[in-house]
């Protein structure tokens, strides 16, 4: 069935990224070097396709490459170093939850705007205030403005 051995361009199209991006990921060791044809062209398999698709989605969600690297490591580490995988999963889960919380409040605000717009005009737009709120975020820069 699906052991494809597709060239780089097809792989790029299948995940919606540029050819050079794939070569770049290989260069920085995020993707393993694929097999090559006699003429030194890259040929990819099913696994590569999945991995790359994962990387692209994670990047679109705003995870930095180090976090992506960690998440990728989860599947390699899973059945070797359980404790390590557990720690990574736990940490990334917290990050994911924070993102969801922020996006949820932004969503509510956008929905509110679209609902209230039917009246006639929006009196006040609270989109900025919604996401400006520090209550949901990780950093400890709350109340930094207090002293002096």
Partner DNA sequence: CCTAAAACCTATAGTGACTGGAGCTTCAAG
Partner DNA sequence: CTTGAAGCTCCAGTCACTATAGGTTTTAGG
In the complex, the residues that contact DNA under the rule CB under 7 A are 7-10, 12, 17-21, 23-25, 28, 36-42, 59, 64-66, 148
Which strand (E) or helix (H) includes residue 90? helix 82-116
Q: Give whichever of 57 and 142 is closer to DNA, judged by the CB atom.
A: 57
Residue 59 has what DSSP assignment? H
Contact between 65 and a second copy by CB under 8 A: the answer reads no
Helix axes 82-116, 65-77, angle to 10 degrees: 130
In order of 40, 76, 77, 122, 129, the CA distances from 86 in angstroms are 39, 12, 10, 47, 36
Q: How far is the CB of 107 from DNA (least distance, A)?
A: 22
CA–CA separation, 4 and 98 (whole Å) = 38
Question: Which residues contact a second copy by CB under 8 A?
Answer: 4, 6, 10, 13-16, 49-51, 53-54, 57-63, 71-72, 74-75, 78-79, 82, 85-86, 89-90, 92-93, 96-97, 99-100, 102-104, 106-107, 110-111, 113-114, 117, 120-125, 127-129, 131-134, 137, 139, 141, 144-145
């Amino acid at each position: 069935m699906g052991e494809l051995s597709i060239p780089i361009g097809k792989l790029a199209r299948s995940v919606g990224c540029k050819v050079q991006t794939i070569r770049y990921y290989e260069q920085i060791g995020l993707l393993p070097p694929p097999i090559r044809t006699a003429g030194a062209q890259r040929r990819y398999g099913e696994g590569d396709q999945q991995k790359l698709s994962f990387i692209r989605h994670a990047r679109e969600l705003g995870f930095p490459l180090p976090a992506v690297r960690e998440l990728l490591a989860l599947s390699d580490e899973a059945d070797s170093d359980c404790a390590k995988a557990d720690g990574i999963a736990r940490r990334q889960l917290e990050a994911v939850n924070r993102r969801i919380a922020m996006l949820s409040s932004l969503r509510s605000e956008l929905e509110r705007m679209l609902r209230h717009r039917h009246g006639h005009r929006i009196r006040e737009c609270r989109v900025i205030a919604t996401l400006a709120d520090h209550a949901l975020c990780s950093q400890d820069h709350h109340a930094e403005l207090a002293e002096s």
